[in-house]
Structure 1
Amino acid sequence: MVVNMLFPAFLGFLIFAPFLALVFNCLKGAGHPASRLHTAGVFLFMYYLFGLWWMTGIGPLQPFAPRLVLMPFADMIQGPVDTALNVVLF
């Protein structure tokens, strides 16, 4: 289940990774080299952001449609996986 959630984030990251590598290459050519640890951290952070984007469902704007919820947080946590993912995303 977790693999199904992280695979689309990995695909988005693979599409964006060459552009990020180009930016680091241009910075290196301009005399602003970054350490390997910094580069790896930026790539890892970008993967995290794509995962966050995929998990939270941020996408096109939808029309505002409020609904009445009589029991707040009733459908928020449905198991230990949801709890762990909420902690990681927080």
Structure 2
Amino acid sequence: MLSKRTLVNPCPRLRPETDNLIVLAGVPERLVTAGVKLSLRGLARRWKVLEDEIKTLNRQLEALVPESSTPTCRDQPSNNQLRDQ
């Protein structure tokens, strides 16, 4: 199975033939393809922004929660581990 990162990385580079889907209203095949590309591109960009935010917050939490804290807090799966499943 491909990782999420492998699936998401190419999506921001997708280039639909137009950003104005109305001009493709009479050509359903091209309309669907352009719509899917636009949607995947937008979702991938949002995913990457959220991933960066999660990494930043995780670094801040790791700095705030000392190693000697309760094991139940430190032993929980990180967002990175959950994301890669």
TM-score, structure 2 length as denominator? 0.34
Please say which structure displays the higher CA radius of gyration. Answer: 2
TM-score, structure 1 length as denominator? 0.33
